[in-house]
A = this chain, B = another copy of it.
Amino acid sequence: MATSRNHRPATRASRGIPEATVARLPLYLRALTALSERSVPTVSSEELAAAAGVNSAKLRKDFSYLGSYGTRGVGYDVEYLVYQISRELGLTQDWPVVIVGIGNLGAALANYGGFASRGFRVASLIDADSALTGRTVAGIPVEHSDELEKIIAENGVSIGVIATPAGAAQQVCDRLVAAGVTSILNFAPTVLSVPEGVDVRKVDLSIELQILAFHEQRKAGEEAPLEETAPPAAPPAAAVTKRPDSGPDGDVPAVMPA
């Protein structure tokens, strides 16, 4: 990555935003929303970076893709930046979503306030269990999965959330895609196959816990006895001494316009 580019994006330079920047925008938005709720009018890049858990130079670079630069000595206008990031992410539109699989997780997601506040409207809750049909979760009646295609079509749903058991997820995914859904958020503990043009993101609830464990291990110190399990048989040949190809450092590729 170049350290000081002269590129100066237009007011809305959304085409070439790197994927890594896209992934950080929700983190900034979360921190900015917290400031907004406390009626904080402006924020410095350092404060915001700390709140979002990001390096401040990286934050400034990310915001340069949005054409947002702040004012020296004043910082960024919180409300306007919330608007800019929301617009960039597409959150100023209304996104109807369906949640398929209304067990504990599906019900928790239906009740989750963080969706509605981000422009996501739960258009329907869908479950294969007839016993749930007609019951209300978070004020929304559960519909039977026989109706899935009809629900997608009538509500113009392009984003589906899968919270079924692993065994049912691929079939649900196939039906959602056939019905016109082009983005899938997968909470089921399985890998989904989708055709070209469909985006899948998988949520692994243990990932943040793994990062905490890394730091806990460090805090505990290397002196403490580690209860490590034995490594698998003999260290295989694949584990030895080849220098990595010294290719380019590998930024995440830029998001290409559709």
Contact = CB atoms under 8 A, between A and B. Distances in A.
Interface string A238-258: 111111111111111101011
A141 interface: no
A237 interface: yes
Contacts of A5: 246
A227 B86 CA distance: 13
29 contacts: A1-B249, A3-B248, A22-B211, A26-B204, A26-B206, A26-B210, A56-B250, A58-B250, A61-B249, A68-B239, A77-B236, A79-B236, A80-B239, A89-B213, A90-B214, A92-B228, A92-B229, A95-B216, A108-B108, A114-B205, A115-B209, A118-B209, A120-B206, A183-B215, A185-B208, A185-B212, A203-B205, A214-B255, A215-B255
A79 B25 CA distance: 35
A194 interface: no
A115 B207 CA distance: 9
Contact of A159 (B90, B201, B207, B212): B212
Given A159-B213, A218-B257, A204 B60 contact: no
Given A93-B228, A104-B107, A158-B216, A64 B244 contact: yes
Contacts of A208: 185, 201, 203
A199 B215 contact: yes
Residue of A91, A92, A244 ringed by the most chain B CB atoms within 10 A: A244
B80 A238 contact: yes
A68 to B, nearest CB: 6
B216 A80 contact: no
A70 B108 CA distance: 42
Contact of A247 (B57, B69, B205): B57
A40 interface: no
Interface in A168-225: 182-185, 189, 191, 197, 199, 201-222
B111 A104 contact: yes
Given A64-B244, A120-B209, A258-B221, A235 B80 contact: yes
Contacts of A30: 202, 204, 207
A107 B213 CA distance: 22
Contacts of A118: 206, 209-210
A32 to B, nearest CB: 12
B108 A103 contact: yes
Contact of A60 (B60, B87, B247): B247
Interface string A60-82: 11011000111110111101100
